[in-house]
Each structure stands twice: as structure tokens, then as C-alpha cells.
Chain A
Amino acid sequence: MSAPIIRVTGLTKRFGAFTAVDALDLSVPAGTIFAFLGANGSGKSTTIRMLIGLLRPTEGTIVVDDVDVVREPRRVRERIGYMGQKVSLYQGLTLHENVEFYGGLYGLEPRALAGRWRELAERFDLEAIDAKVEELPAAIRQRAGLAVSMLHRPRLLFLDEPTAGVDVRSRGLFWEVIQDEARRGVSVFVTTHFLEEVDCCDRVCFIDAGRVLADGTPDELRGSWEAAYRIEIEPAPGTQTRVAAMLAAHGLPVATEGTTLEVHLPLLEARELDALQAVLAAEPATRVRVDEVEMAEVFRRLTGGAAA
């Protein structure tokens, strides 16, 4: 397990009598995509503002990429990339002018900037460099916003609802880009209200009223539910007993429901997947359908009401 790129202990923020963030502990392993979720008003934005050095905590420690954020809030901003829901590119300027502006802010030399941008533009499929930002289609503007936030080669990206109001195809392409960056070693701290996107992440932390409610891999969160996976198996006529016996031999708890077989599991791991494939190999006419409980449902259950 790699060292954490974000370490937060006892993080607290009070506004007068109101406690927005309440003794929060967080640890984000380097190189992972970390989903940070919570209902509107749960303390999510306040936490992010503290993590990137924009808001001073009342109590607690924050270390981001080896920088003590409470002591040196400015230094952390050189180390991270940030993209909010409203992509922070300047309208009225072309994409090229935005790149030059941000490159200057990050202190990049013109030649280094040009090289870096060529690399990002190719990776993120950005060509329309002379178009005004507001003329770009939203999906390209969004990728451009991400590219600009990465000009200075940050090892950590903060993405605050990067896909809000974005259509399903652009969302999918955006996640491909994020996962590619993670593969290159970039850590990603992301918030979203599209709960299906949580499964695109490595870890997920869910907060409510400024406290951590759940923290783990998406599988671990699902695994707290005995029937997170419902597998329906329809054997071809005359093969039901044989198929049931095969599944049982692989250690799967099989129940018979009329002509179908059902298996309920908290986790679907290599062993179970191999068992399903073995059944299909032996009895190719068998129909198998895996029903995975939706993340939205997992959260409703975890929180008994409050949810992302």
C-alpha cells in the first residue's frame, strides 16, 4: 500500500456555534481515485476548501503531498490541480490565451509550457486552441479545464463535481481520462452526485453532518450488505440438479426458486466468477444474470436517509 497523499486528522471547522466539519479523519492513498461524497450541506465543500488551503480549520492537521496545509496554505496550491463544477477557464479568451495565462501563473517558461500543452492536448484530444472558451462544446471545455489544471504536473487533482449537468456520453469519456491519469500515477480526489460514478473510483468516503459515515472500497461498502449481489441462474431443462450441484461444489450458497437458481452474495470475487464461468463452460445453454445492488441503494441504507 502506497503512502497517503492526503492525511487529515481531527479536522474541525466551526462557524460560530455551527460545526460544519467535526473531527474528520481521512487518509487517501497515493495513486488512487478517491470519491468524497455527502449530501448538500454535509460539510463536503468546507472540507475541500480546507484541504486546498483556502479556509483555515478551527482544529486538526492536514498534510497534502507532504505539505502541512495549515502552516503553509499557499505551498499546497503549487502541488495540486483543481477543477470545479464551473470550469475555471476565462470566457472571452481563447483556449490558447487561457493556457498562456495559467502557464504564467504557475511560473512555466514559454518553451516548457508549449511542450507540456502539446502533450496534454494530444492526450485529451484538444485541437480547437484558437476558439473562444465559450464557443467550445461543453465536453471539450471540460477536458480543456482539466488539462489546464494539470499544466504544472500536479501529483494530486481535486475535482469538485466535474460532471454535474454533463450528458452521459461526455461523462463516460471524462472518466476514461481520469482513469488514464490515475494509471500514470496521479491521485484524484473527486466529488459527484452521480452515484454510478462511485464505482469508477478506487475508494469512497461518505460524510454526513461533518463526520465520516463510511470509508472503504466500493466493494467493501457493498459487502456490508449480505445480498449485494443477486445471481439468477436459469439452467436448461433437465440440467437444474447438475448445475445446482456444480455451484454448491464451488462453495456458492444456492437456493432453488422454481425453475431458476439463486445465489446471494455480499461480494463477487474471483472464486465466484470462476464458478459461474465453469458452469457456463459445462452447460452452455445456462442463462446467468448478475444483479449488483446500486450504489444509491447502498448509501440510502448506510445513512438511513441522508445520502449523496
Chain B
Amino acid sequence: MSTPVVELRGLVKRYGARRALAGIDLTLTENELVGVVGPDGAGKTTLLRSLVGLLEVTAERARVLGYDLTGDVTALKARVGYVAQTFSLHPDLSVLENLRFTARLHRLTAADWEARVPDLLARTGLAPFGDRPAGALSGGMRQKLAVANALLPVPDLLVLDEPTAGVDVVARHEIWTLLAAARARTLVVLATSYLDEAARCDRLLYLDTGRVVAFGTPHALQAQAGLVPYRAWGDDGRAIARAARALPYVRATRATRRYARVEVASAEAPASGGVLADLRALAGAPVRFAEALPVDMESTLLALSSGASA
């Protein structure tokens, strides 16, 4: 049995009277990609900051890479890579200078630099921008630099707080290629609000009000989701969505021009045929065709946020 990388029992973080983390139990041993998801204010950032030793916490047991989070965490900080939610590299230093700064902090050798930096720059597409100040990079390039910077010392744990928020789909893909490579040798924990990214994680940790609501593979969480999506097509998707919200078992809708996607609480709804008939009969919003959809990440996370999951 290998030593857990993360071992938390009853982890609590208080801000005044408020408990941002209200007793987190979590053990992570394998090299895997763990996604932290949940509503705004659930405690995601607080948990990630705790993991890298940035916060004073209380716990029955709180160890990361063997270091006690309630004690001296100086040595822990040298072994983790962390990408904060807000860009925290030096805006006046160039791409290369930022990386050099990190290399010196971690006492990397010239050989380490040669072995890693050209590769990181190539994989992030940052190679042509080595001399550009970080503050003058586009949002996507900045985030790629932040991830490259966190990977440079080859950390034993990589923690990223919404590394791809506001990042375009191509840059997101490049960041995920880096993360997938990092995952082969280290535990990666990241917060995300993108559905496709949540679906790509090995396991998902769903937090709400500072507590773990669910923890499992995307597949397992999907299987427990208490919401089933339907799609009702017509000439005015927005009118269909408004009408569908009046059905007692509808928990959420998303309207496009041509259809409304409707999330149905399976415990309260009739069988599929009944739901389809109800959708076809919506008052004031003609539905031409209705279909049941397979449960996906959108339904799963909506179910968890509405307490509809098993």
C-alpha cells in the first residue's frame, strides 16, 4: 500500500464565523486527474489553497505528500505546483524571465533547463514569445505560461484553480495535453466549470457549502444523477423552455433557437412516454418533435447542484 499523496480527515477552514470548509474527508493515492466541481462559493478555491499549504487549517488529520498541513509546510511548498485563479506571475518579466525565476527558486540545473524549457515552450506554443512581457500576453497564452511555470520544477503534486477560465478552445486543448502528460507521473487536482473538462477527469469531487457531496468517476456520478435530459424541438426554443418550466418535475431548461433542453427529476416524473407527451402538449409553445437524451455531464452537475442525485 503506497502512502497517500493527499490524506484529509475533518479538514476545516474558518473565515471568522463562516466555515468555508466544513469537514472534508479525502484520500488520494494514485496518479490521476481529480476535478473539483461545485457551485460558486462551495469552497473549491479554499480546498485547493489548503492542499498547497497556503492556508492555516484545522483537521483531525491533514497530510499532503506526508507533510502535516497544520504544521510547518515550507518543504511542501517546494514540491507542489500551483496555478492560482488570478494570474500571479510577474507581468513585467518576459516569458523566459518568469521561467528562469522559477528555475532559480527551485535550484534547477542548466541541464534541467535544457531538458525541460524548450519542450514546454514548444508544447504551449509559447516559443516565439519568449521575450514578450507576461503582462502583454493574451489571456490564453498567460494561462499556458502559468501552467508551464508550475510544471517546470516537475512537482509531486499539481494543483490548478480554474486554469482555463476565459481561455479559448484551442489553448484549452493545449493546456489539457500538458495536464494529461503530467498526470502520468503525478496527482493533478484542478477546479473547472467546463462540462467537457469535468467529463475528462478520472474522478470528480463535488463540493457544496464546504462539504463533499459526491466523489467518484464521471461515469459513476452520471449513473446516480437524478435528472434526465429531454429535448423538445419547435420553431421557438425559448417559448418552449418557458412553458416547460411550468411542469412540476422540470428542474432546469436551456433554450436554443430551435429547441429547449429540459432537465427532468426522474423520481417525480412519469415514465419517458409521459414526459414526451407532456412536452408535446405544452401550452402556447408548439413542439414538433420531442426526444429523451442520454444523461451527460450537464445533467449530472445540475442534478448534484439541485440535490437530485441519489
Stretch at the interface among A116-124, A147-155, A194-202: A194-202
Measuring CB to CB, which residues of chain A are less than 8 angstroms from any residue of chain B? 38-42, 85, 137-139, 161, 164-172, 175-176, 179, 183, 193-196, 199-200, 202, 217-219, 268, 270, 273-274, 276-277, 280, 288-290, 296, 299-300, 305-308
A172 to B256, CA, bound (A): 12
Which residues in A have their C-beta under 8 angstroms from that of B85?
A: 165
Count residues on chain B whose CB falls below 8 Å from chain A CBs: 44
Q: Specify the chain A residue showing the minimal Cβ separation from B288.
A: A273
Most buried by B among A39, A139, A218, A306: A39
Q: Which 3 A-B pairs have the closest CB atoms?
A: A138-B40, A41-B138, A40-B140
Min C-beta distance of A155 to chain B, whole Å:
19
Contacts A165-B85, A172-B254; is A39 near B238 (CB within 8 Å)?
A: no
* A306 touching B170, Cβ below 8 Å: yes
- Whether the pair B140, A268 counts as a contact (CB closer than 8 A) is no
Query: What are the residues of chain B within 8 A of A161 when measuring CB–CB?
Result: 166
Separation of A243 and B195 alpha carbons in the complex (Å) = 36
Give B295 Cβ to nearest chain A Cβ, in Å. Answer: 14
- A contact residues around B23 at 8 Å (CB): none
Most chain-B CB neighbours within 10 Å: which of A40, A164, A172, A176?
A40
Other A-B pairs beyond A176-B241, A273-B233, 18, CB < 8 Å: A39-B170, A40-B168, A139-B40, A168-B195, A168-B302, A169-B306, A172-B253, A175-B254, A179-B241, A199-B257, A218-B256, A273-B234, A276-B289, A277-B288, A277-B289, A290-B233, A290-B291, A300-B169
B169 in contact with A299 (CB, 8 Å): yes
Q: A169 near B39 (CB under 8 angstroms)?
A: yes
B7 adjacent to chain A (CB < 8 Å): no
> In whole angstroms, what is the CA distance A270 to B237 when docked?
13
Which residue on chain A has the smallest CB distance to residue B38? Answer: A167
* Total of A-B residue pairs, C-beta within 8 Å: 123
Whether B257 contacts A218 by the Cβ 8 Å rule is yes
Interchain CB contact under 8 A, A200 and B289: no
Q: Which single member of B39, B141, B241 contacts A167 (CB below 8 Å)?
A: B39
Can you give 7 contacting A-B residue pairs, CB < 8 Å? Answer: A166-B193, A167-B305, A170-B40, A193-B169, A199-B256, A290-B291, A307-B170
Q: Are B169 and A172 in contact (CB under 8 A)?
A: no
Q: Which residues of A contact B302 (CB under 8 A)?
A: 168-169, 172
Q: Which residues from 153 to 180 on chain B have a C-beta closer than 8 Å to any C-beta of chain A?
A: 162, 165-172
Q: Determine the chain B residues whose CB is within 8 A of the CB of A299 once the complex forms.
A: 169
B234 nearest CB across to chain A (Å): 8
Neighbouring B residues of A172 by C-beta, 8 Å:
252-254, 302
Q: How far is the CA of A38 from the CA of B288 in the complex (A)?
A: 34
B251-269 interface bits toward A, Cβ cutoff 8 Å, 1 = contact, 0 = none: 0111111100000000000
Is B301 on the interface with A (CB-CB < 8 A)?
Answer: yes
Using CB atoms, name the residue of chain A closest to B37. A167
A62 CA to B181 CA, complexed, in Å: 46
Q: Are B40 and A219 closer than 8 Å at their CB atoms?
A: no
Give complex CA distance A157, B128 in Å. Answer: 37
Contacts of B141 in A (CB 8 A): 40-41
Pair A170/B162 contact, Cβ less than 8 Å: no
CB of B258 within 8 A of CB of A193, answer no
On whether A268 and B195 interact (CB within 8 A), knowing A40-B167, A193-B166, A300-B169, the answer reads: no
CA distance A41 to B39 in the complex (A): 29
Contact of A274 among B167, B193, B256, B289 (CB under 8 A): B289
Q: What residues on B are CB-neighbors of A277 within 8 Å? A: 288-289
B68 contacts the other chain (CB 8 A): no
Q: How far is the CA of A195 from the CA of B172 in the complex (A)?
A: 12
Contact A40 B139 (CB under 8 A): yes
**With A41-B140, A139-B39, A277-B288 in contact, do A169 and B169 touch (Cβ < 8 Å)?**
no
Q: Which residues of B contact A168 (CB under 8 A)?
A: 193, 195, 298, 301-302, 305
* Minimum CB distance partner of A37 in chain B: B168
Complexed CA–CA distance, A245 and B105 (Å):
72
Q: Which residue on B lies nearest to A169, using beta carbons?
A: B305
* Interchain CB contact under 8 A, A138 and B162: no
- Please tell me if the beta carbons of A200 and B37 are within 8 angstroms of each other in the complex: no
Contact between A202 and B40, CB atoms less than 8 A apart: no
B254 touches A166 (CB 8 A): no
| Assembled-state Cα–Cα distance A307/B165 (Å) | 15
Once the chains are docked, how many angstroms separate the CA of A202 from the CA of B168? 21
The answer to whether A307 and B288 have CB atoms under 8 Å apart is: no
Contact, CB under 8 Å: A137 / B40: yes
